[in-house]
Amino acid sequence: MGVAELAHVRWIAGGTGAGKSTVARILAERHGLTVYDGDRAEAGYAARCTPERHPYMCALLRTPVEERYAGRAPEEVFRAMPSLHGETFGFVAEDLLALPADRPVLVDDFRPLPRELAPLLVRPEQAVFLLPAPGFRRRVLEARYADPGRARATWGDVDPAAALAVRVARDELWDAEVRRQARETGLPVVDVDGSREAEALAAGLAAAFGLMQRSGHPVRDARGGCSPC
């Protein structure tokens, strides 16, 4: 797999709760993009993983949902993430290569890391990592899991407040790793704290990604250039 094979792909990765899916939906509607939803695609990874190539994922699949967060330190949960060890990126790449390449594809997925994406980009602006401010993420996840049914489906019959606390701390470790790798690879990071509307963020990303308007001309930012937001 080389740069040319995925040159039509744009990537929105980063941290949970940063609004990746909202921005991806806006961009898809405005620019006619195909969206690769990593959360939905994850369901298909289980059938393709093997203990030899994907030990962390296989271990996670064997762990009951009640035991994935309850009674575990955030560092332990973070270190057990299959994506941290590069186990999920191969599935993403396989899926993307199977899609038609006649239009831009937008990946909405927190799992890809900068060190995995950097070798596959024609230019750094093909990818962006959205990282939420800690307080903003907590508010987003508290609202997301206020529904008891959704919380139970995610964490099982454990104290949802305790599970959420571990989840938030784990995600902060993930963000720190993403930020470190982005700095090393020169890939762009956008900090999200809720002060910027999703539509404005989407417009900035469209310019950075070099997406086409319906007129067929590249989207340009307010300064007249296609620079990162």
pLDDT in tens, 132-147: 999 999 999 999 999 9
* Separation CA 96–CA 142 (nearest Å): 32
Task: Please tell me the predicted confidence (pLDDT) of residue 229.
Answer: 27
pLDDT score of 226 more than 50: no
What tokens appear for 13 in the block? 């990765």
pLDDT digits (tens, 9 = 90+) for 45-79: 999 999 999 999 999 999 999 999 888 999 999 99
- What is the pLDDT at residue 1? 60
Confidence band of 213 (pLDDT split at 50, 70, 90): low
Structure tokens at 191: 């900090």
How many whole angstroms separate alpha carbon 99 and alpha carbon 108? 15
**What's the pLDDT tens digit per position in 104-158?**
899 999 999 999 999 999 999 999 999 999 999 999 999 999 999 998 888 889 9
SS3 194: coil
Euclidean distance between CA atoms 39 and 108, whole angstroms: 8
Tokens 């024609």 found at? 122
What spatial distance separates the first Cα and last Cα of the chain, rounded to whole Å?
29
44 or 214: which leads in pLDDT: 44
pTM (2 d.p.): 0.89
- Coil, strand, or helix at residue 8? coil
The SS3 call for residue 10 is strand
**Residue carrying the six token digits 């704290």:** 193
How far, in Å, CA of 210 to CA of 28, rounded? Answer: 14
Other Cβ atoms less than 10 A from the Cβ of 32: the count is 12
